[in-house]
Each structure stands twice: as C-alpha cells, then as structure tokens.
Amino acid sequence: MKYYLIFYFSLLLFSCERNKEEKKFKINYAVESLNIPITKRYLNSYQVFNPYQEDNGNKFVSYNRFTHSLNFFNLESGQIISELELEREGPNGINEILSLYFHNRDSIFIYERGYLHLMNLEGEKFKSFSLYELFDVEELGEPNFNFYFKLNFNQENHSTIFYLTQFNDKESSPKIASLNLKTMELTILPVKAPIFLSSEETTGFISYLGFVDYWKGEILYNFQNQSAIFLCNPKNGKIKGFSGNSEENPSQINLLNINSTSDEFDTHAIENTHFLSVMPDKWRNLVYRFKWNKPSVKNIERGFLDKQLSVEVFDQNFKFISEILLPDYKYQINNFFVNENGLYINVAHPKNPNLSDDFLSFHLYKFSMLS
C-alpha cells in the first residue's frame, strides 16, 4: 500500500518570560511540532505504544485495537512506515495487546492478559510464556502491565519486570517480580507500597505503580499517590528513595474515608494530584515526571478531562529543577515518551478544539540547562 503524504514540521521557540522557578534553576526549553498525516486506518492517539531506534533514525510503534494491528511511524521524516495486521487465531494468534516493547526486528515483546509473546516484524509468533503457569497468582498477585507500568526488556540480565496486582489489595505485598527469560528464574523484588494509611483511610484508586525504563541499570519507579521517586537495584534488591519534590520532604495526596460514596471517590481523584510515571532522559541526564493536577480555578467544569497537566524536570540525582505548567485541553494523558530528540507529548486532548483525525500530532519539548 502506497501512501502520498505531506509532512508538516514547524519550530516554535518559546520567547515568553520564564517563571521565577525556571529562572532560579536556569532551565530553558524549546518546542517543535510534528504532524504525521494519517488515513482512516490509523489513530490520532494511541494508548499502547513504544518508541524505538534503528540505524536510520527514531521510530514509533503502536497498537491499534480497532484494526488489531501494529502501526509503525518514522519520527524523523514524519511519515507512516507500515501497518502489520495481526491474527487472533492459529499459531500466530494474539488477543488484545495491553503493552508492547520493540527490542529489534526479530524480537517484539507483546503482552496480552496472562501471556507474554515474542514475535518478529512479519507477525510470526515464535515464543509464548503462560504467566499464570509461571506465577502463583493467588499468592503473589496477577503479573501485568498497564498504561503506567510499561513492558520493558533488560538485555543485560535477560529479564522483564512485571507489576503484581494483588486481589486482596495487601499494602504490604511485593509489587514487582522479575522473570529471567533465559533461565526462567523468578525473583520477587522488595518493592512495596508506601505505608501511610490507617484502616479507615484510602487514597482512592490513585495507587498505581509507575515504571517506564531503567536509570543507570536500576529500576526507576514511583507511586501515583505521592511525590517520592525510587530506585531498586535488580541484582541485590536495595532501594533508594528521593523526595521528588521542590522541598526536601515528599508530598502525598489527601486521604479519603474508605466508606465514602463513589461520587466522593471521583471528586477526590479529580481534586488531588496524580504523580504519573517518572521517565529518564539518558541523552540529557534529566528525569521527567508529569503531574495530573486538579482543574484550574478558572475552569467552570471540574471533571477528569479538566484536570491540569504539568511536567517536572529533575537532574540526574533527582534534585528538583523546575515544573512547567502545560496549556489546558492540549495534550492526551499518558501519551508521552522520550528519545534522543527530546520529550514527545501527544497533542490529542479530547477537548482540544484543534484535534484532527487527519494527523498524529506531537509537541517535542527540548530541555537544556543554561550556562
């Protein structure tokens, strides 16, 4: 199938005055726009995706659940590369994909509930792992990935790490398990939820664990209900914590009575901050984290779609540098990633008045420290 594409690429330099915090920490950034023309077979926003690099540049693979296919894009040329239609039945059959990781053309990691598959760029599935046979689900919890905890393969130790969902919601239960795909050795890491709740209080559903990538060989993760950032050494299980805050002490969201109504739970989630998954930028020795804040006081509507979004920037030692408030109704939540070009954010908020079905659009944020 041949596509006739027009690539639009524009550079927007922010010349507006930085706020006092940005000046204090000498942070600067520029923003570029990338609009990839798409057809009706493609989406303007993807929930399951993975950026990857090949010799000819930076690319992006995503799962289209409506067509049950993998969509490939070139982030350098701003063009569609190809569409790989998947099978649901037979030796190459795969059901709905919940997370994916492009290791190379011969090894694309695919997660569907209960299974981890390996397939190549031709759609041939050459290996599958039944996770329910490898994990004691009743004891450890269900191994999975989601929008916050991404599928990732560590080539150094041949392993992937899973987020464990406990059905009994034990706060004291381990949250991460590592599986060596070469030896099939299972290791339970001592990652547990921070304990600051009484028996009558909860943080609502804001309790997801966030993971995107490793930081200098260690697992970099955080919880949505507090600002703290953690590193876990996968070799010895040692954990280090950082405040993840402009102040020295970590902050946490307000607590809610466990007997509250469903409406009160929703209001609590809307009015409190979600500390989204922390992301390393190994090319600039920076770390980013998005915060999904409560709606602006100027917004009459106060629903989930009205919550404000900001991005925090930390140095390589997790010292807070700056927080940049992003424009309202601009970006799709959880649709951001990092590569050597910078930080990409999907321009596809459901209330974005300029949202188009003709383009897959990103804003590329390029951060730099002033000398």
Q: Are 75 and 339 in contact (CB under 8 A)?
A: yes
Q: Are 145 and 151 in contact (CB under 8 A)?
A: yes
Q: Express each pLDDT in 325-367 by its tens digit.
A: 999 999 999 999 999 999 999 999 999 998 999 999 999 999 9
Per-residue tens of pLDDT for the chain, all 371 residues: 333 222 222 222 222 333 334 435 568 999 999 999 999 999 999 999 999 999 879 999 999 999 999 999 999 999 999 999 999 999 999 999 999 999 999 999 999 999 999 999 999 999 999 999 999 888 888 999 999 999 999 999 999 999 998 766 555 678 899 999 999 999 999 998 877 777 788 888 777 899 999 999 999 999 999 999 999 999 999 999 999 998 888 888 888 998 999 999 999 999 999 999 999 999 999 999 999 999 988 878 889 999 999 999 999 999 999 999 999 999 999 999 999 999 999 999 999 998 999 999 999 999 987 75
The tally of CA atoms less than 13 A away on the side-chain side of residue 252 is 15
SS3 percent helix, strand, coil of the chain, rounded to 5, is 5, 45, 45
> pTM (2 decimals)?
0.89
Measured between alpha carbons, how far is residue 214 from residues 86, 182, 368 in Å?
Answer: 29, 20, 22
Written as six digits, the tokens of 350 are 């459901």
